[in-house]
Structure 1
Amino acid sequence: MSATFTTYYQSPVGLLRISGTDQYLSEVHFVDNEEEAAVATGTDNLPPMAILAMDQLIEYFQGQRRIFEIPVNQEGTEFQLKVWNELMNIPYGKTTSYIDMALRLGDPKVIRAAASANGRNHVAIIVPCHRVIGANGELVGYAGGLWRKKWLLGLEKRVAHGVQTLF
């Protein structure tokens, strides 16, 4: 059995809790809880997977990485796994709507289920659930807060297209 780790990274959009094993990443989660943030551990003696995750996140935030090359493993239903896999197909700097996602999953009636699965993604940024927006182009729903979603989309838009603002 693989040893698990949890570490923290202070990103431009706040503190991130990063968890996984020596074989994969299982969580990148925004930490807004001040008590948890106060006990955030340092970066001494981190396993290689934690270092890889932090290095790739740093490159992402610096506009130097568009695709993450790190194994991810989330526990979920077959449908959730399908949705999370579909999220990985949304190109950097682009967005899609929940209805378009449902259509790509093969059934427009699964729009609410797809949105629910999107909200249960445990690997923020790397599994880019922030790239899903409302059909009208509005920012809707993001577990990390809409301000973070706007910030992440703005970063990607600037890096990919040289555009100053998205919303």
Structure 2
Amino acid sequence: MSKHRFTVVEPTPIGPVSVVADGDEIVGVYMEVHKHGADPSEYGERADEDPLLVQAVRQLSEYFAGRRTEFDLPLRPQGTDFQQRVWRALCDIPFGQTWSYGELAQHIGSPTASRAVGLANGRNPISIVIPCHRVIGANGSMTGYGGGIERKRWLLAHESGRDAQALF
């Protein structure tokens, strides 16, 4: 149940990112264009000085500057039990690596559920922090991404140490 939502919009190399907090937990990290994202009217009031949002922005800035590979934030993504399992498993994908949807399905103990895993992955409300961009097709192809394929390419290049700036 919602306590009180606050948001901050932070400029990043891949465009503005909105971070949404509900009480003392992060419930959303959305890109400017975000398929399956929350309606911006649900983000809550702007709160640039909220301590949790300040911490989230600091960690995102460190990530984009190449100084952070893991996030340490209280998260509460809203979704079904299956989606929650998938989102927790996404956090097991190491920085700079990718897994296929099949590998992710195997990891959660549902080896025949790659399609359902893909759907859950696409509904991740806390992008970047819960690294859904690290999931690719079985053949290594770039598959859909809620923030757009160009942002996914940028994030993967950034994490692998390649020149991501030229990609976006």
CA contact (8 A) 1:22 1:49 kept: no
Deviation at 1:6, TM superposition (A): 1.3
Structure 1 unaligned runs (5+)?
A: none
- What does 1:1-167 align with in structure 2 at a 5 Å threshold? 2-32=3-33, 44=48, 46-158=49-161, 163-164=162-163
Deviation at 1:75, TM superposition (A): 1.2
CA contact (8 A) 1:22 1:48 kept: no
Secondary structure in 2 aligned to 1:89? Answer: coil
Q: Percent identity?
A: 39
**1:20 is matched by which residue type in structure 2?**
A
Deviation at 1:164, TM superposition (A): 5.0
**2:58 is matched by which residue type in structure 1?**
D
What's the counterpart of residue 37 of structure 2?
A: none
**1:12 is matched by which residue type in structure 2?**
P
Instruction: List per-residue Cα deviations over 1:20-62 (Å, max 9, x = no partner).
Output: 13411000001139xx7xxxx8764x21011011000000000
Secondary structure in 2 aligned to 1:17? Answer: strand
CA distance in 1, matches of 2:131, 2:110: 21
CA distance in 2, matches of 1:124, 1:107: 23
CA distance in 2, matches of 1:55, 1:21: 18
CA distance in 1, matches of 2:154, 2:88: 23
CA distance in 2, matches of 1:30, 1:90: 21
CA distance in 1, matches of 2:157, 2:103: 21
Structure 2 unaligned runs (5+)?
A: 35-39
CA distance in 1, matches of 2:46, 2:12: 14
Deviation at 1:2, TM superposition (A): 3.8
Scaled by the length of structure 2, the TM-score of the pair is 0.86
CA distance in 2, matches of 1:22, 1:65: 25
**1:10 is matched by which residue type in structure 2?**
P
Deviation at 1:3, TM superposition (A): 3.0
**2:120 is matched by which residue type in structure 1?**
A
| Greater RCO, 1 or 2 (C-alpha within 8 Å, sep 6+) | 2
> Could you say which structure has the larger radius of gyration?
1
Deviation at 1:104, TM superposition (A): 1.0
Scaled by the length of structure 1, the TM-score of the pair is 0.86
